[in-house]
Amino acid sequence: MIPRILVTGSNGQLGKCLRDIDDHDFDIHYVNSSELDITNHQQVKDFFEKHKIDWCINCAAYTAVDKAESDYDSAFNVNVTGPKNLAKACKVYNVKLIHISTDFVFDGEHNKPYKESDPTNPIGVYGETKLKGEQEISKSLKEHFILRTSWLYSEHGGNFLKTMLRLSKDKAQLGVVGDQIGTPTYAKDLAKAIFLIIGRDIPDYGIYHYSNNGVASWYDFAKAIFDISKTNIQLNNISTAQFPTLAKRPHFSVLDKTKIETTLKQNAPYWRDSLIAAIQNIKNE
């Protein structure tokens, strides 16, 4: 039987990457926020009643980390109320839910990669609301996969890769933070992992960490972008203190991928290899 799949937030970069690699024998219904407002309980209920689906991939999220500090209600609605509504509808209509979460549920005080079982302690509104969204799903629905990811980028939308390439056209030099450590993750790799979960109908529900492999600072990430794209620019390694932001960022948010790699029997690609592929795709466009 062909899986019938709903993708919410399909105009975001992950939604577009799912569409890019959508060559599976799946029946996929892509919707944006104007077609399905996940914060509206009745609208979600009516949609699930009308469209018979087997899986829901929730890519809808409030991801403006700094803006969230002064816009709590909006962040809460999308990151908490929305997932809660989806989880409740999934339970009623026997749908499995794949929900995308974040490394920002951790405070960054660790010195080794975070496991799914490590204590959470978000240090900003974005991380706090994403964690509450996870908790609402876990309370309402057993048949769920929560995929925490980090430093997501792609050819689509606004992200660090696109920002660096754009800024390099106008500036002779750039300062990029070198004391925040994590792993850049190509959204197409995450999309492939999501389709693997569905295609294999994985029965092991729960929280999983997914990012590319390897470790980098934002400075390392930027340097790799400019090296691979052969961009001539002076890059300066600066501290977090030299680049203050409204929201605090975790200083260390590398995710341990052992659980998902064991479950899928497949290792996530190394971050730099995926970055080469993404930059080549941008050049080809």
Would you name the residues annotated as active-site residues? 126
| 222 CA to centre of own chain | 19
Beta strands 216-217; 181-182: pairing state? antiparallel
Q: Is the dihedral of CA 197, 99, 182, 153 positive or negative?
A: positive
The whole-angstrom separation of Cα 225 and Cα 51 is 42
Phi, psi (degrees; rounded to nearest 5) at 269? -65, 155
Q: Using DSSP, how many helices (H) and how many strands (E) does the chain show?
A: 10, 12
CA end-to-end distance (rounded Å), the chain: 36
238: number of Cβ within 10 Å: 16
DSSP secondary structure code for residue 268 in this structure = P
Burial (CB < 10 A; 0-12, 13-18, 19+), residue 41, is: middle
With beta carbons less than 8 A apart as the criterion, state whether 7 and 28 touch. yes
Question: How far is CA 27 from each of CA 2, 117, 165, 279, rounded to the nearest angstrom?
Answer: 7, 34, 35, 30
- Reference 220, options 263, 181, 256; nearest CA is 181
